[in-house]
Amino acid sequence: MKTRKVIRPAGLFLLALAMIGGSAIAEEVEFGIPSPTVISSSDGGAVRYLAAPPVGFPDTTMVIGQAILTLMASVQSEDSVTYASIKAYPISTPWSVDNVTWDTPWNSPGGDIDDVNYAAYAMGHPGTQVIEIDLTDLCMRWADGRLPYYGFLIEIGEATMAPVEFLNGSDGNGPFATLRIQYTTADLE
């Protein structure tokens, strides 16, 4: 009995791409964010969390496959059902940990951001939980230079019905957050 190898169309496409497009090496990098820079309004009613891990953007040789920001959050509520909204925005103005407040160096109090909502997470029950925010689209824009990279700002949404507290890992000793980026490197020759 004679057997044949069947190459499916998707396999043919990938094989042709590898042969004519050069090589691509899949990689993953993870950045621990020990603690964010926290700014709050003068009345204490609003808080923003800022971070700028040293990711090396822009890098036009990177093709972002996936980028996930992982945080440990605790929703403080006595109700069995609640709602908390966490949004991540790209910061659009250069800033420094040593010289940042609610009003400085921003044109808009609370931070200059690209107000397109690239990533959000909704929490629907109280208690401590690991949350993962998909930053893939945002990291693609940073990597290819469509957006300048000054880090990101995390905001608890205005419609949130219960206080949210971010924790440093499940035991209090971990980083505030981790940013895990999976990417391939394009061979531009």
pLDDT tens for the chain, 189 residues long, are 443 333 344 433 333 334 344 445 689 999 999 999 999 999 988 899 999 999 999 999 999 999 999 999 888 777 766 778 899 999 999 999 999 999 999 999 999 999 887 888 888 778 888 999 999 999 999 999 999 999 999 998 866 677 788 888 767 788 999 999 999 987 655
Indicate yes or no: pTM above 0.85.
no
pLDDT at 12: 35
User: Are the C-beta atoms of residues 92 and 110 closer than 8 Å to each other?
Assistant: no
Question: Which amino acid, residue 129?
Answer: Q
CATH entry, 23-186, from 2.60.120, 2.60.40, 2.40.50, 3.90.1750: 2.60.120
The owner of tokens 């496409």 is 13
pLDDT at 79: 72
- How many helices and strands in the chain, by DSSP H and E? 2, 10
Tell me the helix, strand and coil percentages in the chain, rounded to 5: 10, 40, 50
DSSP designation for 97: G
Question: CA 11 to CA 17: how far, in whole Å?
Answer: 10
